[in-house]
Structure 1
Amino acid sequence: MNLRYIKLFSILFFLSFISFSCDTENGAEEQQTSSKAFILKANDFQNYAEKFNNMEGENIVQAIPNDSSWNWMQKNIPLFETSQKSFEEMYYYRWWTARKHIKETPEGYAITEFLVERSYADKFNLISCALSHHIHEFRWLHNKDYIDQNVHVWFRGNEGENMEKLRSFSSWTASSLYDKYLVDQNEEYLLDMFPDLVEEYKAWEGDRRRDDGLFWQYDVKDGMEESLSGGRHVKNARPTINSYMYGNAKALAEMARMKGDEELAATFEAKADTLKQLVEEKLWNAKDQFFETFTENDTCANVREAIGFIPWYFNLPDENSKYNEAWKQVKNEEGFLAPFGLTTAERRSPRFRSHGTGTCEWDGAVWPFATSQTMTALANFMNNYDQDIVEKEDYYQLMDRYVESQYYRGRPYIGEYLDESTGYWLMGDRERSRYYNHSTFNDLVITGLVGLRPRADEKIEVNPLVPEDQWDYFCLDNVLYHGDILTIIWDKTGDKYNKGKGLKIFRNGEEIASSENLGHLISS
């Protein structure tokens, strides 16, 4: 029998078994849920949606209103439980808020950044700045139509052409779509998008590449206005766009190989290699031991900013201890470590927080957009590099501060940016800031804390970045990955889930890997 059909049969058998178990244990009410979880029961988490629904008024309704939020969540999201309930609450809050941004358009589903209308948005009130954050977060939903159609709208929603403002902001879309492929294995969709992504890359080369091969960008077009290293009208070579274009080139090379076009793959590999060399040679400041902006006057900006961590988002830097030194700054209170998160510029700078408040300053305040990038990069650094600078305790503490920062007046909240010392949301009283869809959180829980590392092959890799003595238990369940349902549990005593002590991975209800310790696991 064909291996594909054997796999399909086993999944159907597993799902029918789970459905039967739910019916007999919980009656008809549980039968109506869509969760395919192996251990957790979706209805045990319904209270979160009910709390959020009653927390405040529903200001703007799009495709899925509040009264349908739990029905949508239980059909779509991986379930998560942990002994530290603040992380658990924030996980469900971020899915509850992400759902608010799904919008039906004549061209298909789209995902907004602001709920309120913005004058600089494209039609359907879309802004491309956080598109890749949306891809990374929404790739974990069971229904991929939301993110797949959203990308199609951006590239083909203007009478078959790109939306007019697709390239209003720097893009790492090709890289993110390849990362989505590592989760859903939808090769047909990825390769259908390939020509569009190649054209987008060429367009950036046409109007943003310097003579030396680096790319330049205005700060505002990186979505990072009022920074310490540049300005809204300055053409600097920034770690942002150069890292993005490296990541895009690497992804496009992989897609070309999937199509069997080795010549085109080699072309994009060469582009990536050139950018890697240029970033390491020109953007690395040996004095500061940091990747920094290279100004339009070909001098170093001589200020550390959070964008200097972005090269690791794409695993760009060489395995080199001198580059590793940069990560000491996430643990340094004169660097980026503040009471309510990671700042966007180093705190030791005499110009830190010097630009005022209320005009989208990236001069030091905490932006979840940047936190998402830095924490993704940090997880890559801890997983893919031989280093002894950052430990699990550091990653956990930074995520804990990220959780604690996402409250406003005692309630869960996600907005634009916040004061690094007080935690006060700087635009918290403006309607535009509510539910700001400009960052990731659940992707960081899944790929960082729980540690599911997406791969192109069929091995399941898990490397939790939670310290072993921090949580007594956690369970990530109902994860749709490569067409299977994954369950990952940590049970310190074995008494919580009755599946034995330690870390365990289940695929379609079958245990495939285990360890007594909260360490690195790869299924055979």
Structure 2
Amino acid sequence: MNMNKIKSLLLVLPFLIAGCKSSETESVLKADDFKHYADYFNRMEDENIAKAVPNDSAWSWMKANIPLFECPQDNFEEMYYFRWWSLRKHITDTPEGYAITEFLVDRSYADKYNLIACALGHHIYEFRWAHDPKYIEQNVHVWYRGNEGKPMGKLHKFSSWTADALYNMYLVNKDENYLLDMYPDMVSDYAAWENERQTPNGLFWQHDVKDGMEESLSGGRHVQNMRPTINSYMYANAKALSTMAKMKGDSEQSVYFDKKAKTLKGLVETKLWNTDHEFFETLTEKDTSSQVREAIGFIPWYFNLPSENKGFEVAWEQVKDEGGFLAPYGLTTAERRHPRFRTHGTGTCEWDGAVWPFASAQTLTAMANLLNNYKQEVVGKGDYFNHMNLYVESQYHRGRPYIGEYLDEVTGYWLMGDRERSYYYNHSTFNDLMITGLVGLRPRADENIEVNPLIPEDQWDWFCLDNVLYHGDIITILWDKTGEKYHKGQGLKVFRNGKEVASSSKLEKVISE
């Protein structure tokens, strides 16, 4: 047997072992009880675009790959399965391996195989919960090695937090070999971004369109502004590279990237923080604040960048303010009180205030980090649940589950909802938010299991997340207020391979020993 075959076996070994554990462990939820969702979604359409996993194979793919979830609020449960069902539509078989698309229809500005790099970080965060790692791992290989061994030509068409996403995927699957195999690619990628986009003051600039956020209030398609997006991404990538280098035993490189991260952290906190608006805002080419609060100002918390106890948390007051980002159908991309809010018209991918799931997913991930990793009293579990509820409610079009490009913040109407290009738009996360935010499984490097549900205790009497492949084990998390739903006892329970490892009578954070 050659070394490539041995390596391939080693990469899938955790998946094979987990499959054995799953079959041997008595599950709380039964997969076939949820098959009706896939059957319904299949009936919603005449499938005219079929890729590697067509509709007639959707349920078999889901049954083999996804964690199971149930709760008493029907739309949450339906949307959970819809987002898995729609996600697998984007798995594409290429000569270089599996790849993940953003649009199902071909786009003229895409790279080979109709790939677009804008949401690569979202794809990694979402697919890290699929049991079989080959889909996302091969997708990353296509992006970084699929162009005759080199990165794809349009990889840097959009800003990226790939190194961070890969490390966070490692926190779920613990595949150190894959992570460190990608390390040299990530080092080269970081250097390329420094060469292309770093300014003399140390911050990075980006056109708003190449952040995937064109027609914004703070920028433009051709201006070189220093945005919270790319600077937060580069901070997170440097942090991830520092950790990877340490894992490799390269202390010099670990310190090197740690210094870069610390420098960017300081620059974001001092240069991008608008003390008058109490918000992280875009810095213009003229080194002045853009003077507009946009949802990208929450992105630093996506990566736990802001220092605690320095007053930055006050920015989150804006997610509760109807003059800020709170709208009937979700989180707007710019503050509603701004005089130029929603002034760019519609149908041109404007980020001047309409609700974009891409940004909503980033903000909700950031909010979950705030609630888990910061001591603050600005927002609570109720705020997170309310925004998740809005996110769920927004993902319907003509009465059916739907995920598209962007929507009107007041009516909920999808602004490109009747264009085929917008159907099943793979440009955001949802199930990662359900797993790590709402249910609260917080991935970590050690073998302790941390769960902190962001659900108010009086909201649901029961819920269960089952068949989660985590560190090679099968994890079950359930809440049963009375003990009569699952017959496992009252309260919050966490199981590893069927064995209870943590519990509480309250819906609160627990950590296994």
Q: Across the two proteins, how many residue pairs are aligned to each other? A: 500
**How many Å separate the matches in 1 of 2:242 and 2:271?**
24
CA 1:238/1:10 → structure 2, altered by over 3 Å: closer, same or farther?
A: closer
SS at match of 1:478: strand
Query: What secondary structure, in the 3-state scheme, does the structure 2 residue paired with 1:198 have?
Result: helix
Distance 1:89 1:15 in 2: 24
| 1:290 matches 2:285 | no
Question: Structure 2 residue aligned with 1:257, among 226, 243, 246?
Answer: 246
In the alignment, which of 430, 433, 436 is matched to residue 441 of structure 1?
Answer: 430
CA distance in 2, matches of 1:8, 1:398: 34
Q: Structure 1 residues 337, 17: closer, same or farther in 2, change over 3 A?
A: same
Q: Distance in 2 between matches of 1:16 and 1:304?
A: 50
Q: Deviations over 1:57-109 (max 9, x none)?
A: 21310001101100100000000000111100000000000000000000000
SS in 2 for 1:490: strand
**1:241 partner amino acid:** I
Once residues 17 and 166 of structure 2 are traced to their aligned partners in structure 1, the CA distance between those partners, rounded to angstroms, is 28
Structure-2 residue corresponding to 1:34 = none
- C-alpha separation in 2, matches of 1:376 and 1:228: 23
Of 241-250 and 320-329, deviating more is: 320-329
After TM superposition, give the deviation of residue 13 of structure 1 in Å: 7.7
Please give the per-residue CA displacement for 1:444-487, whole angstroms capped at 9, x wherever unaligned.
00000000000000000000000000011110000000000000
Deviation per CA, 1:145-178: give whole Å up to 9, x if none: 0000000000000110100001110010000000
Matched, 1:356 2:345: yes
Q: Residue type of the partner of 1:399?
A: M
How far did residue 15 of structure 1 move? 4.3
How far apart are the structure 1 equivalents of 2:448 and 2:35?
A: 33
TM (normalized to structure 1)?
0.94
Residue 228 of structure 2 corresponds to 239
The verdict on how the C-alpha distance between 1:350 and 1:516 changes in structure 2, with shifts beyond 3 A counting, is same
Give the match's secondary structure for 2:98: strand
Q: Percent identity?
A: 71
- Tell me whether 102-111 or 37-46 shows the greater mean CA deviation: 37-46
1:267 equivalenced with 2:256 (yes/no): yes
SS in 2 for 1:104: strand
Q: List per-residue Cα deviations over 1:417-436 (Å, max 9, x = no partner).
A: 00000000000010100000
In structure 2, the partner of 1:432 is: 421
Q: Is the 8 A contact 2:15 2:132 kept in 1?
A: no
CA distance in 1, matches of 2:470, 2:435: 12
Q: Aligned runs of 1:307-386 on 2, under 5 Å?
A: 307-386=296-375
Counterpart pick for 2:385 among 393, 396, 404: 396
Alignment-derived partner of residue 89 in structure 1 = 78
Structure 1's consecutive aligned runs of 4 or more residues displaced over 2 angstroms after TM superposition are 7-18
Counterpart in the other structure of 1:55? 44
How much does 1:17 deviate? Answer: 3.5
Aligned residues of 2:274 and 2:280 also touching (Cα < 8 A): yes
In structure 2, relative to structure 1, the CA distance for the partners of 1:12 and 1:131 (3 Å cut) is closer
* Mapped contact 2:21–2:473 kept (Cα < 8 A): no
RMSD across aligned positions (CA): 1.3
- 1:8 to partner: Cα distance: 11
Q: Residue in 1 aligned with 2:202?
A: 213
Deviations 1:212-250 (A, max 9, x none): 000000000000000000100000000000000000000
Please give the TM-score of this superposition, normalised by the length of structure 2: 0.96
Q: Structure 2 CA distance, aligned partners of 1:90 and 1:189?
A: 31
The residue number in structure 1 matching 2:156 is: 167
Residue in structure 2 matching 1:198, options 175, 187, 190 = 187
Structure 1 contact 218–233 (Cα < 8 Å) conserved:
yes
Q: CA deviation at 1:320?
A: 2.3
In the TM superposition, residue 296 of structure 1 has moved relative to its aligned partner by: 0.3
**Residue segments in structure 2 that go unaligned for 5+ positions in a row:** 1-13
3-state SS of 1:272 partner: helix
| Shift, 1:9, TM fit | 12
